[in-house]
Amino acid sequence: MLLTGTMLAGVGCKDYDDDIDNLQKEVDDLKGQIELKADASAVSSLQQKLEGINFDDFVKEAELNDLVKGLGYQTAEDVKALIPEGMSEEDVKDIFDAQIKALDTWGEIETNIGKAVKEYLASGEYTAAEQAEIVNTILGQLTEDPQVKDIKTAIKNLLGENFGEYLNQYKTTDDFVGAIDEAAAAALKKENSVLAAAIMEKIDPEGFLENKDLSAIFQEYDQKISAIWDAIDDLAGRIQSIVFVPTKVNDGGVDVSMGGYYIAASKAEDNIQLASQPKVKVAFRVAPAALAETLAKKINEGEVKASFIPEVVTRAAEAPVTYEGDVLAEDGKLIFTAVANSEVYAKLDRDETFAVALCLSQEAKKDDKGNYETLGFEITSPYITTDGDSNSVKSNFVLAHEVDGKLVAYAYKPIAYELPWNSEESITLLEDYVLGYRYGSDAKILTMEEAAKAYLWDEGVAEKLGFKYEHTAITYQKQGMGADIYATQTQLTVTPAKVTDKANVNAPVTVANSAKKDIANVGDVLTLTDKVWITDGEKEIAFNVPTVKSTVTILGDLLKTMNIDLNFVWKYTNYASNAYEAEITIPAEDHMNWEKFNQLPDSFTVSLTLPEKSEVATNGSAITLTFERKEMLNAESAQQFVVTAANYVTGDGEAEYETEVNLRDDSDAKLNTYVAFNGKVTFKGLPAMNFEVKNSNIAKVNADYSVTLDGKFNETLYAQAQDYFDKAEEVTTFLTNLTMNYNGVKQAADLDATPMIPAVNPNIESGKLFKLWFNSSGFNWEKQPSYMYTVPTGEDKGVIIGMKGNAEVFMLNLTGSYELTNTIYKLQPNSAYLYDGVGGANPYIYINGGVEGDAFNLANINLTNAYTVSEEAAKAGATQAFELVTKTPEGYGSNTLPTIASGVMDWNNCILDKVTVKTTLYNDKTEVLDTKVFDVVLKEPIAFDSWKFYGGSKIEVSTTKEATFNLQEKVLAATSTGSTYGTIVAIDIYGNALYKSGVLTKLASEDAGYDIEVSYGNVVWTNATETIEGVTVKDGVITVPKGNEQLAKEITGTVKVTYTYKYAWVPVEKDGKVTGYERKKFSFDIPVAFKNAPAIEK
C-alpha cells in the first residue's frame, strides 16, 4: 500500500492546498505501522487450510440440495461429513475467528489512518466538513488500491463466495469497507455469540435439515445477523452510500431551487407569496435502506452530525444551506428541511448555482475502560446543484370536490346538479367545491393544509387561501335546448334572482322549486356562469382557466331506485361479437310494482364512464350497458333483465353507473315518473399468459437463424386459458388479428461484448408458431461457438403486448433464455486419415508417394482427407476452403512450396518435411462457421532409422599381401545377417530394394528416384592403443596393407556410412540465423573386426 501526496488530488478545498505537503509526513509515518504483506500471507495460509471446502456446502451447495431432495432430509452429521477428512469443528471455528480478525485488522488500519489525518487537521483552521472531505478522499483512494481490494476480497470470500455476500450486505462494501469496530468483532467471537451459534448449528449432530426448512434457516440466519447490528451503536462501516433523491424532473436545470413558491399575478407586486423564507424539503437515500431510521434518530439526538457542505469553500463564509427541525426517515430516505441563506443566493449571477453535498459524521468515542464504543466515520453524498430561484405554482391550483373520500378536480365541463321537479330541497351552487393543490396531472389533490405542510409554506397562508367567484350569466332552457327563458320561467326560485347585478355577483346562489312547479318542466336546465379567482383575502389572481359553469337539471318523479351490480368475464366469443351478456334476476324483496315494471321501456342504454387510471380497455368507444326487460310469463315470474355490455375489450377494473328511466303510460301523456338504476360493474379481463424460452429438442433452426421454439403455440396458450377460449383455433384467430408489440422482448445487439450479444427478435407467426430470429451480423462461429438470447428484464421488459386499435388486449410474459449453437455446421474430422498431434502439436495427414519402375512420384493429396463438410451443412449451402499457412521460410532460397487448387495440394518438390494448412467452413452468407488448422506431413519414403545392418564383418589381414573388404557389397547391400541372399536391409517403405548386385539401384541413385548419395568415413578404432597403420576407406572399400608381423589379437573399429536423399532437408544456421537448407544426414557406424588370415598349408 502506498499513501502519497497525490492521494489528496481532487479534494475540493482550495484554500488548504499549501498544507497538503505537510500532511505527507504524517501519512508516511503511519505507513510504517501497517504490514499488508503479513495480512496477505495470513489470508493465503488460511485459504490453504480451506482447500476443497466451501462453507456454503453446509446449506447451499448442489450436493446437499440433491441429498435433501433425494432422501427427504439430511442429518447435520451427514452434512458435516461433506467436510474433507481432517477438518474438525474446531478448525472451522478457528477459520471463522480468523476471518473476523482479518477484517477487524483492516478496520483498525483505516480507522488509524482517518484518526491520524483528523488529528493533524484539527490543529488547523478547517471546519468539520472540510476535514471530512480530506479524510474521505484519502480513505477512498486507499480502498481503491488494487492490492488492497484483492486482500479484502480474499478475506471476505474466505468462507465461500456466498458468505462473502453476507458480509457485503451486513458489514461493508469494497467502496468503503470501513472499520468493523472492536465491539462488533468481540460480539461475533464470544462463545455465546448468536451468529457463531447460528453457524455452528449447521454442524450440530443433534440437528437435521429438512428440505422445507432450508429457507427458514436462511431467514433465521439473516435475522440473527441483523439483531447483532441493531445491538451495536457504532455506524462505522455500515453506511455504504447516501444519494440525493430528486423531487422534480430535472430537464438539464438545477436539482433544487431554494427560492420558495408563489402564485404569479400579472404584476409581480400582486403575487401571492406562499413561502417568504427560501426553504425546501430535500431527500437522500441511504444504503442500506434499513439504516435510515437509525441515522435520523442519531442525527436528531446529536450523536451524528449532518451538514450541507459547498463545493467551493471560502474561509469564514457563512454556509449557503443549513437545515431546521427534525430529520425524518421514510422508505429508506433521510428528509431534511433545507434552509437557504437568502443573502448568499441573492449574490448569484443569472444561471449561477451553488453545488452542495450532505455530509454525515460521527466522532470516535471510548468507554470508561478505554475501549471504543464508536470508531467514528465521515461520509459525503455526491454534489447537487442549487439556486435561489422562486417558482410560480399557479397552475397547480384547482377547484375540487370530494368523491368517495378524496378530492377530484373540476374537469372544465359544467358542474351538474339535479333537482326532482317536485322536491322540497334547495341547492347552493359551488358550495361543495374547495381550492385544491395538485403537482402533476396524475398526482393526488391536496387540501391547502396538506400542501402547506408538504411544500413548507409560511404559517397562516393555507388558512387564508381560497377561491372567489363572480356571476357573469344565467340562463334557463326548455329541455336544455333553445332560447333562454330565465326571465319568464316559473319552475325555479333562484336567490338572488338577479345574480349579475353588482350587489349580487359575489353572493352564493341557491336554487329551489317554486310554488308554480310543474311536471311539464322535467328536463329543463338552468345554467350559471362564473369567473373564478384564487384569493388570500387581500389579493386575487385568476385561474388559468377562469370560467366555471354550473347546471341544474329538472328531474321527474323518482318511483324507485334499482341497485343492480354486474359482472363480466372476458371470453373470446364475446370479444369477437362485441357483446357480453348477463342475466339479472331481481330478488322478490326488491321487486318493483308489476304494473310499473311492465311500463319500463323494452330496453334502455347507459354509457359507462370509467374512473381515471382504469385498466379496463375499450375499442375506442365508451362501454355501453343495454338493459332489456324480459316480459312476465306468469304471476309467479321473477323480474328479470338481460344486460349486454358493448365496446369492452379486456382488462380488470370496476366502474359505477347511474341513469334515470322514464315509465311509459298511454293513459297520461304528461306522466314523467322515472326509476333510477345504479350499481357497480366489475370486469375481469383476459389474464396475462406465460411462456418460457428455453432450448428444447423440438426447436428447429433454418439457415436464416430463425428458431421455431413452439410449433403449436396456440395449443400451448389454450392449455393456460381454457376458461377464456373454447378451442385452440380461437387462440389462433385471436392472435392473428392483433398488432403485436415486441419492444419489451427484443434483445439489442452488443457486438463488442464478450461473448458477443446478437440482436434477437421474438415473433408469433400465423398465431401458431413462436419463433426467435437471430440477426447474424457479426457472427463468427470460429471465435464463438454459440450465441445467447436472454429475455430482457426490468420496467416494461419481458412482455409481448397484443394491440386491438389503441387497446392492449393480450399480454404474454416471457422468461428464460435460448442458446443458438451451430453443431451441425462443423468441420468433421476424417478419422481414416487424420492423426492426433502429440504434445499440443497440430493434427496431421500424410502426403504419400509411389514407385513406378525406377521413379518415385509424390501424389497430389485431397485435403478433405483431413476435414470434411457434414451432409447437413452441405445441404444448407455450406462451403469449405483451404489456404496454406506456411510461408516461405528464411533462407529457403528459390525452392518451391506446395500449392492448393480446388482442395487438392501439389507438393511441388517442396523440401520441407511438413506444411501447415487452414481450412474454413462458410455458410451460404459467407459467414465463418468453423476453422481447423492441420499439418500435411511428408511420408518419407525411406525409413533409414529402421535399417539394422549386419555388424559381424571380419577382415583377414595377411603378412604377404594387402587385404580389401567391400562394405557396400558385403554389408550395405546385404541382409541383417550379412547374406547376399534374402531381403536386404536397405529398402524403402514400399519394400523396394535399394541395392542390386552390390550397388545402388537406379530408383535409389537417380534424380527420378530418391537421388541417394553415400559417403564413408575412415576407420575409427575401438581402442586407441590398438590400431593398424595404413588402413584406408574409399568408395566403400576398406584396404589393409600387408603386415610385417602377425596381429597379437583381433582388433575392432567402426566405419561411418552416411546417406542423404532428396526428400529430407534441414536448415543451416549461422550466428542464429538460417542461411539455407541442406540434405539431412542419416549415419550408421558399421562395426568391423580385423584378424590374422589363416596360415596357408604347404
User: Which amino acid would we find at residue 517?
Assistant: K
pLDDT band at 720 (very low <50, low <70, confident <90, very high): very high
Residue 1057 near residue 1067 (C-beta atoms within 8 A):
no
> What band does 50 get if pLDDT is binned at 50, 70 and 90?
very low
Q: At 44, is the secondary structure helix, strand, or coil?
A: helix
Q: Which grid cell is 842?
A: 497440430
**Mean pLDDT, range 34-40, rounded to an integer:** 37
To the nearest whole percent, how much of the chain has pLDDT over 70? 73
Decide: helix, strand or coil at residue 1014.
strand
| Whether residue 123 has pLDDT greater than 60 | no
Neighbouring residues of 1011: CB distance < 8 A, sequence distance ≥ 6: 1005, 1061, 1062
CB atoms near residue 793 (< 10 Å): 10
Question: What is the DSSP code string of 453-487?
Answer: HHHTPPTTHHHH-EEEEEEEEEEEEBTTBSS--TT
pLDDT value, residue 815: 94
Q: What letters, b where the CB count within 10 A reaches 16 and e where it falls short, cover 405-440? A: eebeebeeebbebebbbebeeebebbeebbbbbbbe
Q: Comparing C-alpha atoms, which of 406, 454, 432, 441 is closest to residue 544?
A: 441
Nearest-angstrom CA–CA distance, 898 and 910: 6
Q: For residues 1011 and 1061, is the Cβ–Cβ distance under 8 A?
A: yes
Residues 6+ apart with CB under 8 A from 75: 205, 207, 208, 209
Q: Where are the alpha helices (DSSP H) in 513-624?
A: 572-577, 594-598
Partner residues linked to 601 by β-bridges: none
What's the rounded mean pLDDT across residues 277-288?
Answer: 79
pLDDT above 90 as % of the chain: 46
Residue range 752-762: average pLDDT? 93
Q: Are 582 and 642 in contact (CB under 8 A)?
A: yes
Mean pLDDT of the chain: 79
The sheet with strand 525-535 has its strands ordered as 415-420, 540-555, 525-535, 466-477
Please tell me the predicted confidence (pLDDT) of residue 590: 86
Residue 976 · residue 950 · CB < 8 Å: yes
pLDDT of 189 strictly over 50: no
Q: What is the dihedral of CA 793, 795, 800, 802, to 10 degrees?
A: 180
Band of the pLDDT at 351, cuts 50, 70, 90?
low
Q: Is the pLDDT of residue 965 over 70?
A: yes
Of residues 560 and 73, the one with the higher pLDDT is: 560
| 837 touches 843 (CB < 8 A) | yes
> Whats the size of the chain, residue-wise?
1098
3-class SS at 973?
coil
Can you say how many angstroms the Cα of residue 701 is from the centroid of all Cα atoms in its chain? 27
How is 690-723 classified by DSSP, letter by letter? EEEE---TT-EE-TT-EEEEETTHHHHHHHH-TT
User: Cell 441563506 sits at which residue?
Assistant: 341
Report pLDDT digits (tens) over 1064-1095. 999 999 998 999 999 999 999 999 999 988 86
Q: Is the pLDDT assigned to residue 227 strictly greater than 80?
A: no
Q: How confident is the model at residue 907 (pLDDT cuts 50, 70, 90)?
A: very high
Q: For the residues 509-520, what does the mean pLDDT come to?
A: 93
pLDDT at 823: 55
**Strand partners for 663:** none
What distances in angstroms separate CA 896 from CA 222, 845, 863, 889, 947, one per listed residue? 75, 20, 19, 11, 30
pLDDT of 249 strictly over 50: no
In the chain, the amino acid numbered 791 is: V
849: alpha, beta or left? (left if phi > 0; alpha if psi -120 to 50): beta
Q: What is the pLDDT of residue 511?
A: 98
Burial class of 544 by CB neighbour count within 10 A (0 to 12, 13 to 18, 19+): exposed
pLDDT in tens, 622-662: 999 999 998 766 656 789 999 999 999 999 999 999 998 88
Give the whole-angstrom CA distance, residue 1016 versus residue 751. Answer: 66
Contact 333, 366 (CB under 8 A): no
**Cβ within 8 Å of residue 887, ≥6 positions away:** none
Rounded-to-integer distance, Cα 942 and Cα 1010, Å: 9
Helix boundaries (H) for 505-581: 572-577
| Res. 713 pLDDT band, cuts 50 70 90 | very high
pLDDT at 368: 80
Whether the Cβ atoms of residue 338 and residue 322 lie closer than 8 Å to each other: yes
- Looking up cell 384564487 gives 534
Q: Work out the end-to-end distance of the chain between its first and last CA atoms, rounded to an integer number of angstroms.
A: 104
Report the alpha-carbon distance of residue 1040 to residue 1022 in Å, rounded: 17
Question: Among residues 660, 680, 421, which one has the least CA distance to residue 560?
Answer: 660
- What is the 3-state composition of the chain as percent helix, strand, coil, each rounded to the nearest 5? 25, 35, 40
Burial level of 1038, CB count in 10 A (0-12/13-18/19+)?
A: buried
pLDDT digits (tens, 9 = 90+) for 846-877: 999 999 999 999 999 999 999 999 887 888 78
Per-residue pLDDT tens digits for 414-464: 999 999 888 889 999 999 999 999 876 667 899 999 888 877 788 899 999
Asked whether residue 934 carries a pLDDT value surpassing 80, the answer given is: yes
Q: Rounded CA gap, 137 and 499, in Å? A: 72
Give the model confidence (pLDDT) of 941-957 as tens digits.
Answer: 999 999 999 999 999 98
What pLDDT is stored for residue 138 in this prediction? 53
Residue 1085 forms beta bridges with which residues?
A: 1056
Q: Are 985 and 994 in contact (CB under 8 A)?
A: no
CB 118 within 8 A of CB 126: no
Sign, CA dihedral 917-918-922-926, equals negative
CA 854 to centroid of chain Cα atoms? 72
- pLDDT, mean of residues 473-484: 92
Give the count of beta carbons closer than 10 Å to the beta carbon of residue 811.
Answer: 17
Q: Model confidence at 313, in pLDDT bands (50, 70, 90)?
A: low
State the pLDDT confidence band at 236, using cuts at 50, 70 and 90. low
* Orientation of helix 146-156 relative to helix 89-122, angle to 10°: 140
Name the region of 1082 (left: φ>0; alpha: ψ -120 to 50; beta: rest): beta
CB atoms within 10 A of CB 119: 10
Mean pLDDT of 746-767: 94
Q: Which helix (H) or strand (E) holds 96?
A: helix 89-122
**Short-list 394, 415, 369, CA closest to 511:** 415
Is the model's pLDDT at 611 over the cut of 70? yes
What confidence tier does 176 reach under pLDDT thresholds 50, 70, 90?
A: very low
pLDDT at 331: 78
pLDDT, tens digit, 9 for 90 and up, residues 787-815: 999 999 988 899 999 999 889 999 999 99
Separation of alpha carbons 687 and 369, rounded Å: 66
Chain centre distance of CA 520: 71
Q: 344-370 burial string, b = 16+ CB within 10 Å, else e?
A: bbeeeeeeebbbbbbbbbbebeeeeee
Count of alpha carbons within 13 angstroms of residue 155, beta-carbon side: 29
Residue 675's alpha-carbon distances to 69, 552, 556, 558, 997, in angstroms, are: 66, 19, 9, 6, 135
Specify the pairing of strand 855-858 against strand 849-852. Answer: antiparallel
d(CA 276, CA 265): 16
Out of 98-102, 639-643, 958-962, least confident range: 98-102
Pair type for strands 415-420 and 384-387: unpaired
- Nearest Cα to Cα of residue 408 among 432, 379, 373: 432
Check whether 89 has a pLDDT greater than 60. Answer: no
The answer, yes or no, to whether residue 292 has pLDDT greater than 80, is yes
Residue 7: pLDDT band (50, 70, 90) is very low
